[in-house]
Amino acid sequence: MPEPQDEITPVMVELFDALADITTDPETAADSRALYECDDRLRVDSSVRNMSRDGRWEPIMPGAAH
Protein backbone atom coordinates (compact mmCIF):
# COMPACT_ATOMS: atom_id res chain seq x y z
CA MET A 1 0.00 0.00 0.00
CA PRO A 2 1.23 3.50 -0.66
CA GLU A 3 2.54 5.59 2.19
CA PRO A 4 0.73 8.86 3.03
CA GLN A 5 3.34 10.90 1.19
CA ASP A 6 3.26 8.69 -1.93
CA GLU A 7 1.56 9.83 -5.10
CA ILE A 8 -1.46 7.79 -6.15
CA THR A 9 -0.64 6.98 -9.76
CA PRO A 10 -3.15 6.14 -12.49
CA VAL A 11 -2.01 2.50 -12.21
CA MET A 12 -2.86 2.49 -8.49
CA VAL A 13 -6.25 4.12 -9.16
CA GLU A 14 -6.97 1.35 -11.66
CA LEU A 15 -5.94 -1.29 -9.12
CA PHE A 16 -8.12 0.22 -6.36
CA ASP A 17 -11.09 0.49 -8.74
CA ALA A 18 -10.72 -3.17 -9.71
CA LEU A 19 -10.47 -4.17 -6.05
CA ALA A 20 -13.58 -2.12 -5.23
CA ASP A 21 -15.50 -3.86 -8.02
CA ILE A 22 -14.48 -7.29 -6.71
CA THR A 23 -15.28 -6.58 -3.06
CA THR A 24 -18.69 -4.98 -3.61
CA ASP A 25 -20.08 -7.96 -5.53
CA PRO A 26 -21.02 -10.88 -3.24
CA GLU A 27 -20.32 -13.29 -6.09
CA THR A 28 -16.69 -12.18 -6.43
CA ALA A 29 -15.81 -10.91 -2.94
CA ALA A 30 -13.84 -14.07 -2.14
CA ASP A 31 -11.62 -13.32 -5.15
CA SER A 32 -10.19 -10.35 -3.27
CA ARG A 33 -8.26 -12.76 -1.04
CA ALA A 34 -6.60 -14.36 -4.06
CA LEU A 35 -5.73 -10.91 -5.39
CA TYR A 36 -4.26 -9.90 -2.02
CA GLU A 37 -2.22 -13.09 -1.81
CA CYS A 38 -0.60 -12.62 -5.22
CA ASP A 39 -0.17 -8.82 -5.34
CA ASP A 40 2.34 -7.31 -2.92
CA ARG A 41 0.97 -3.82 -3.60
CA LEU A 42 -2.13 -4.70 -1.57
CA ARG A 43 -0.34 -5.87 1.55
CA VAL A 44 0.00 -3.78 4.68
CA ASP A 45 2.17 -4.16 7.77
CA SER A 46 0.89 -5.93 10.87
CA SER A 47 0.01 -2.55 12.38
CA VAL A 48 -1.53 0.63 11.04
CA ARG A 49 -1.54 4.22 12.17
CA ASN A 50 -4.95 5.15 13.55
CA MET A 51 -5.37 8.87 12.87
CA SER A 52 -8.67 8.96 14.76
CA ARG A 53 -6.63 8.06 17.86
CA ASP A 54 -3.94 10.71 17.59
CA GLY A 55 -1.83 8.71 15.15
CA ARG A 56 -1.31 5.78 17.50
CA TRP A 57 0.04 2.59 15.87
CA GLU A 58 -2.32 -0.35 16.40
CA PRO A 59 -2.19 -4.00 15.38
CA ILE A 60 -4.54 -4.90 12.55
CA MET A 61 -5.65 -8.18 14.11
CA PRO A 62 -4.73 -8.23 17.80
CA GLY A 63 -4.28 -11.73 19.11
CA ALA A 64 -4.15 -13.33 15.66
CA ALA A 65 -1.59 -16.04 15.10
CA HIS A 66 1.46 -14.86 13.17
Whether 38 is covered by a domain: the verdict is: yes
Q: Using CA atoms, how far apart are residues 29 and 4, in angstroms rounded to an integer?
A: 26
3-state secondary structure of 2: coil
Residue pLDDT, tens place only, 7-55: 999 999 999 898 888 888 888 877 777 887 888 888 777 888 888 999 8
Whether 21 is covered by a domain: the verdict is: yes
Give the number of domains in the chain.
1
The pLDDT confidence band at residue 61, using thresholds 50, 70 and 90, is confident
Whether 32 is covered by a domain: the verdict is: yes
Whether 50 is covered by a domain: the verdict is: no
Phi, psi dihedrals of residue 48, rounded to the nearest 5°: -130, 160
3-state secondary structure of 17: helix
Whether 47 is covered by a domain: the verdict is: no
Burial class (CB in 10 A: 0-12, 13-18, 19+), 36: middle
